[in-house]
Amino acid sequence: MSASLKIGLMGYGFAGATFHAPVIEHCGRASVAAIATGRPEAALADYPHAKVVADLDALLALPEIDCVVIATPNDTHFDLARRTLEAGKHVVVDKPVTLSAADARTLANIALARGKLFVPFHNRRWDGDFMTVRDLLASGELGRITHYESHFDRFRPEVRQRWREEASRGGGLLFDLGPHLIDQALALFGAPQTVSATVRTHRDDASAPDYVHIQLGYGGFEVVLHASALTAIVAPRFAIHGTRGSYVKYGLDTQEDQLKAGLRPGDEAFAAGNAAGTLRVMEGDREVERELPTRNGDYASFYIALAEAVQHGVKFPVSPQDAVDVMTIIELAARSSDEGVRLPFQRVR
């Protein structure tokens, strides 16, 4: 087995402690070698073997660190990632990678010039239901796709006092859940022709968007991406229709809740328990409905792929251009909502 990839974690708040550190430590190919945080007690309690330092400069000074993971508030991502790349380290940046497509393009260009990886943390490509959808579409069983709908709905009527709820810090659902929904669509269908959206702030005292409805136009069909903080009875997570049938799946991938509860990759129950979807398709001249089991998710594969990319030069599944395209669509969605128009997608290069 290849040597463990030594990762430095910048930030030990919710994202760093929940989505990054446990998966890094338990993926089998990487380790949390150092953590930069203002919460040293918490970091040391969870990872006593890691070096705990005060800031990014101290993290970048550690020669053993191969890659830095940026898990800090959204408005800090660009500067921290830029400094990391300029210091000669690979970088993983939590979503959204930046607050603009231009900044994402700048990071991609710096990484290319320095021969380093700039990796967006689009981990939900490894959700079990998304992997199931990808397999289903590749099989052609639904025929030609005519409509794809993806929801990420929650019921959180109270605005919490945290940076994720502050528009000035890049908070709100367009930046929080938008990147996941958009990246999954891009992974399935590529770049759209057009973007239109409605982005709203509905909750009392909210400053950042809590309702996002995006339509991506692909000529022959539409992709609908939806996120809301005021949905007590949720729609299907996925609803996909084609010329030979339909697929509907309820419920979110289990890995997020399991990580919050303390389960780890490698535990017997981890990533299991995803609800099955329903598939109704033509078999000969008959409509047949059956249950379609949902694959177990696999967040560990994100960091396994990262180790393969850093140590062996294997192409990482999520490209810097993917990160730029996601931010481009987020910008177009905000502009479309403001202006009430459908806008053409043009790639930022």
Render pLDDT for 219-270 as a digit per residue (tens, 0 to 9): 999 999 999 999 999 999 999 999 999 999 999 999 999 999 999 999 999 9
pLDDT band at 349 (very low <50, low <70, confident <90, very high): confident
Of 122, 43, 170, 138, nearest to 299 by C-alpha is 122
Write the pLDDT tens digit of every residue in 194-224: 999 999 999 998 999 999 999 999 999 999 9
Angle at 185 between CA 213 and CA 301, to 5 degrees: 125
Write the pLDDT tens digit of every residue in 69-128: 999 999 999 999 999 999 999 999 999 999 999 999 999 999 999 999 999 999 999 999
Q: Is the pLDDT of residue 1 over 60?
A: no
Name the H helices within the chain.
14-15, 21-26, 40-46, 56-60, 77-86, 101-114, 128-139, 173-176, 178-189, 255-261, 300-312, 320-339
At residue 168, the pLDDT reads: 81
Q: Is the pLDDT of residue 2 over 70?
A: no
CATH number of 5-122+302-316: 3.40.50.720
At residue 284, the pLDDT reads: 87
178 and 315 Cβ atoms separated by less than 8 Å: no
Write the pLDDT tens digit of every residue in 29-50: 999 999 999 999 999 999 999 9
Of 241, 281, 277, nearest to 145 by C-alpha is 241
pLDDT band at 279 (very low <50, low <70, confident <90, very high): very high
pTM, rounded to two decimals: 0.96
Write the pLDDT tens digit of every residue in 156-188: 999 988 888 888 888 999 999 999 999 999 999
At residue 342, the pLDDT reads: 97
Tokens 């959206």, residue?
A: 197
At residue 87, the pLDDT reads: 98
243 and 146 Cβ atoms separated by less than 8 Å: yes
Domain ranges in the chain are 5-122+302-316, 125-297+328-344
At residue 169, the pLDDT reads: 87
Sequence-distant (≥ 6) Cβ neighbours of residue 175 within 8 angstroms: 74, 95, 96, 99, 330
The bridge status of strand 245-249 relative to strand 211-217 is unpaired
Write the pLDDT tens digit of every residue in 304-320: 999 999 999 999 999 99
- Fold for 125-297+328-344, please state it: Dihydrodipicolinate Reductase; domain 2 (3.30.360)
